[in-house]
């Protein structure tokens, strides 16, 4: 049996898409900022744990890029555009800035952990808010939250005594 969409069904779809973009777009923005700042940290880390932290930062950057792509594709699949140009990312991300120049590995780990924490606030807001808007989009946010939480754990473990 085939079903025909009514105008009210289409309005609901537009409302759903608008709700999704409201909460997933900030996730994309923060993750794209994490990509850029993660690479900055990756290039400038120094000290005895350099190699391990350097490689861990590369993995965090790769994961953040993949997660941003997943969230962006969900938005676009619902029919809405997304603005993640560099200017927009610079203006709208919620991550704390990294200090410039070379940094010891301990400071680098602490700084990037703070960035992951800020991104997790945005991601967890999306998880909570998308529950009543669109469960498929919430699943996307949950998948991203799990991955970023794991990356945070693996990086933070360098500071454990």
For residue 97, the domain's CATH number is 1.20.1260.10
Assess if residue 3 is contained within a domain: no
Q: Tell me the backbone φ, ψ of residue 156, rounded to 5 degrees.
A: -60, -30
Which tokens is 12 given?
């609901």
What percentage of the chain has pLDDT greater than the value 90? 88
pLDDT at 12: 55
Domain, as residue range, for 153: 11-159
Number of domains, the chain: 1
pLDDT confidence band for 107 (50 / 70 / 90): very high
pLDDT confidence band for 137 (50 / 70 / 90): very high
Q: What would the pLDDT profile of 115-129 be if each residue is shown by its tens digit? A: 999 999 999 999 999
Q: Share the mean pLDDT of the chain.
A: 93
pLDDT at 159: 87
Say how far apart CA 161 and CA 157 lie, in whole Å. 9
Assess if residue 118 is contained within a domain: yes
């Amino acid at each position: 049996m085939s079903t025909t969409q009514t105008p009210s069904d289409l309005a609901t779809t537009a409302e759903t898409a608008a709700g999704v973009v409201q909460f997933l777009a900030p996730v994309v923005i923060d993750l794209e900022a994490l990509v850029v700042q993660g690479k900055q940290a990756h290039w400038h880390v120094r000290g005895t744990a350099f190699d391990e932290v350097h490689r861990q930062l590369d993995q965090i950057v790769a994961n953040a890029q993949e997660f941003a792509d997943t969230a962006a594709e969900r938005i676009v699949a619902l029919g809405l555009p997304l603005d993640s140009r560099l200017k927009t990312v610079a203006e709208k991300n919620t991550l704390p800035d990294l200090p410039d120049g070379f940094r010891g590995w301990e400071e680098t780990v602490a700084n990037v952990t703070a960035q992951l924490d800020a991104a997790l606030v945005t991601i967890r807001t999306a998880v909570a808010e998308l529950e009543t808007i669109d469960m498929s989009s919430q699943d996307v946010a949950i998948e991203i939250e799990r991955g970023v939480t794991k990356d945070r754990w693996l990086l933070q473990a360098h500071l454990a005594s």
